Structure 1
Amino acid sequence: MRAVIYEEFGQLPEVREVPDPAPSRLGAVIGVEATGLCRSDWHGWQGHDPDIRPPHVPGHELAGIVAAVGDRVTRWRPGDRVTVPFICACGTCAACARGAQQVCERQTQPGFTHWGSFAEYVLIEHADVNLVGIPESLPFGTAASLGCRFATAFRAVVTQGRVAPGEWVAVHGCGGVGLSAVMVAAAAGARVVAVDIAAPALDLAGTLGAEVCLDGSTGDTASSIVDLTGGGAHLSLDALGSPATAAASVNCLRRHGRHLQVGLLPVDPPLPMARVIAYELTILGSHGMPAHAYPPMLDLVTSGVLRPDLLVTRTIGLDAAPEALVAMGSAPGSGVTIIEPCSSARECWP
């Protein structure tokens, strides 16, 4: 198969032929129709993830068609249309037994613990636990973001953040996760403040339901949010992942507010804990969404209440993926970029 691969961290990846994956007894091989270009992939390429050992194929946000399954897979067959949570669970540990597959004790992650989806095929372990069926009406490019960014934002805002109608929600960082959070929070009836340093990202946030869009490069963003919301946000998300945005997210909260860390942080940052104590704030994390929790979100997507298709601003082929990955460090762009490993994955596998 053709795949994007890098031999060393920080080295320009290249597209070349590598061996096809084979399904394990409990696994499945997916013919990749679409895969998202995510900042997490850039962090991995930079060497920020200890699980990655080059040579490596990145990519963790995907949708496609089941190409082959292991002999112990019972729920899926070749030809099924699927997406995959980026946290793939074992299905048997204590966390999985509680239904918390997103914090599985033996989790695997395509593009991190093993080769990922910037390729014509990708292996997914424990297919019966991790694959999510998608309807014929849902395009693969839209479904790909449901594996990571959109599903992560949905669970963060709805389940972890417990958003309520009328609440002020601040979203710091309007990349794919942040824009998804803006859409989900607005659809839930919240009043959303979107923060970013890029005008195109803020413009897009406005079209997706943000009531207020703030340029984070000028002034004290946290103080501005406190002023315009009449005391601070009820819920604030750091959807970027930096010491500055994490601190701003905490500092913009009102009393008994909730900070939600969604963006991955390359280092553990200092947080304004004096405010956490004085305001009795809640600090939360959110890490993807398990496969069994997808149906309510899929219902909202297929009904048109949520429109993840509006987040897709660029579609590229596999040959353009290496430079696009590298560019995320200096010019991340706005919206979601989708990579199509083939013009149609049906041309890549029988």
Structure 2
Amino acid sequence: MKAVVFENFSAPPSIQKLPDPAPETHGVVVKVMANGVCRSDWHGWMGHDPGIRLPHVPGHELAGVVEAVGKDVKQWRVGDRVTVPFVGGCGACPECHSGNQQVCESQFQPGFTHWGSFAEYVGIHYADVNLVALPETLDFATAASLGCRFVTSFRAVVDQGRTAAGQWVAVHGCGGVGLSAVMIANAVGANVVAVDISEEALHLARQVGAVATVNAANVANVAEAVIEITCGGAHVSLDALGHPTTCFNSISNLRKRGRHVQVGLMLADHSTPAIPMSKVIADELEILGSHGMQAHRYDAMLALIESGKLSPERLIGRRITLEQSIGALMNMDKFEGAGVTVVTEF
């Protein structure tokens, strides 16, 4: 198979020919039809994930067609159209038995724990627990764009943030994760304030449902700006970027008993950010994490997509080739352009 491979962290990857994967007895091989380019992939390429072993194929936002099936798989057949959460569960540990495969004690992540989907084929473990059937109405590029950013935002807004109609939601960072969160919060009836330093990103945020925006490059105090707009602070606030500044601002702009959800990864030098703990205590704030979403929760999200209340295809920016994905991956930290970049030609 053709795949993007990096042999050293932070060194330019290359296109290589590799052996096709074979399915585990409990897994499948998926022919990749579309693959999202995500900032998490950039973190992996930079060496921020200690679990990656070189050489490595990145990629965890995928959609495709089942190509081969392990002998113990019961629910899937060759030709099925599928996607998969970027965090997969083993199906046997206490967390999986409680329905929380996203924090499985033996979790796997394509593109991190094993070779991923910047390739023509990818192996997926424990298929009966983790695969998600795609509606025929959902194209592969849109399905791939759901992979990490959209589903993580859905869980952050709906399950972790417990966002209700009429509440104020602040979203800090309007890349793929943040724009997804804006759209989802709007769909469930919340009023959204989007925060970013890019007018292009803020313009797109308004298009997908933000009722107000704050350009963090142009205001002296982001938290105060959000508190003023929301007449007292956000009920729910998300750091969709993963930076000490956006994390601090997200907590600081909450009203009493508000909920902060950390969605953006905080790795390397950013792994231990300062937070306003005195406010957390005095205002009885909640600080929550959001780490992917279980396969069994996709039905709720897909129902909103099929009804037209969510339109993730509007968040797709560029559609590129596998060869072009190398440059896109290496430049993720430059935040060039708006929307989600998806590989659609292999």
TM-score category, normalised to shorter length:
over 0.9
What SS does the corresponding residue of 2:42 show, helix, strand or coil? helix
Alignment of 1:155-194 (within 5 A): 155-194=155-194
Cα shift at 1:333 = 2.4
Alignment of 1:39-188 (within 5 A): 39-188=39-188
Question: Using the alignment, how far apart are the partners of 1:234 and 1:124 within structure 2?
Answer: 38
What SS does the corresponding residue of 2:115 show, helix, strand or coil? coil
Give the corresponding residue for 1:348: none
Question: Using the alignment, how far apart are the partners of 1:58 and 1:326 within structure 2?
Answer: 12
Alignment of 1:1-350 (within 5 A): 1-218=1-218, 219-266=220-267, 267-342=271-346
What SS does the corresponding residue of 2:334 show, helix, strand or coil? coil
What SS does the corresponding residue of 1:319 show, helix, strand or coil? coil
What SS does the corresponding residue of 2:297 show, helix, strand or coil? helix
Q: 1:331 to 1:258 in 2, by over 3 A?
A: closer
Normalised TM-score (structure 2)? 0.98
Per-residue CA deviations over 1:258-304 (Å, capped at 9, x if unaligned) read 10001100112111100101111111111111001111111111121
Question: Using the alignment, how far apart are the partners of 2:205 and 2:54 within structure 1?
Answer: 36
Question: Using the alignment, how far apart are the partners of 2:202 and 2:301 within structure 1?
Answer: 25
Question: Using the alignment, how far apart are the partners of 2:272 and 2:78 within structure 1?
Answer: 43
Question: Using the alignment, how far apart are the partners of 2:215 and 2:196 within structure 1?
Answer: 6
Question: Using the alignment, how far apart are the partners of 1:210 and 1:271 within structure 2?
Answer: 26
Question: Using the alignment, how far apart are the partners of 2:281 and 2:258 within structure 1?
Answer: 11
Amino acid at match of 1:304: G
Cα shift at 1:187 = 0.8
1:66–1:77 contact (8 Å) kept in structure 2? yes
Give the corresponding residue for 1:346: none
Question: Using the alignment, how far apart are the partners of 2:236 and 2:9 within structure 1?
Answer: 36
1:145–1:151 contact (8 Å) kept in structure 2? no
Structure 2 unaligned segments of length 5 or more: list them. Answer: none
Structure 1 unaligned segments of length 5 or more: list them. Answer: 343-350
Cα shift at 1:214 = 1.0
Question: Using the alignment, how far apart are the partners of 1:122 and 1:90 within structure 2?
Answer: 18
What SS does the corresponding residue of 1:254 show, helix, strand or coil? strand
Would you say how many aligned residue pairs link Structure 1 and Structure 2?
Answer: 342
Question: Using the alignment, how far apart are the partners of 1:231 and 1:298 within structure 2?
Answer: 34
Amino acid at match of 1:301: I
Question: Using the alignment, how far apart are the partners of 2:335 and 2:242 within structure 1?
Answer: 16
Question: Using the alignment, how far apart are the partners of 2:343 and 2:145 within structure 1?
Answer: 11
1:315–1:339 contact (8 Å) kept in structure 2? yes
Question: Using the alignment, how far apart are the partners of 2:297 and 2:192 within structure 1?
Answer: 25
Question: Using the alignment, how far apart are the partners of 1:168 and 1:136 within structure 2?
Answer: 35
Question: Using the alignment, how far apart are the partners of 1:147 and 1:323 within structure 2?
Answer: 20
Moved segments of 4+, more than 2 Å: none
Cα shift at 1:200 = 1.2
Per-residue CA deviations over 1:46-66 (Å, capped at 9, x if unaligned) read 010111111111000000000
The share of aligned pairs that are identical, in percent, is 59
1:32–1:341 contact (8 Å) kept in structure 2? no
Per-residue CA deviations over 1:135-166 (Å, capped at 9, x if unaligned) read 11110000112221111111110111010111
Amino acid at match of 1:81: R
1:85–1:130 contact (8 Å) kept in structure 2? yes
Question: Using the alignment, how far apart are the partners of 2:94 and 2:131 within structure 1?
Answer: 20
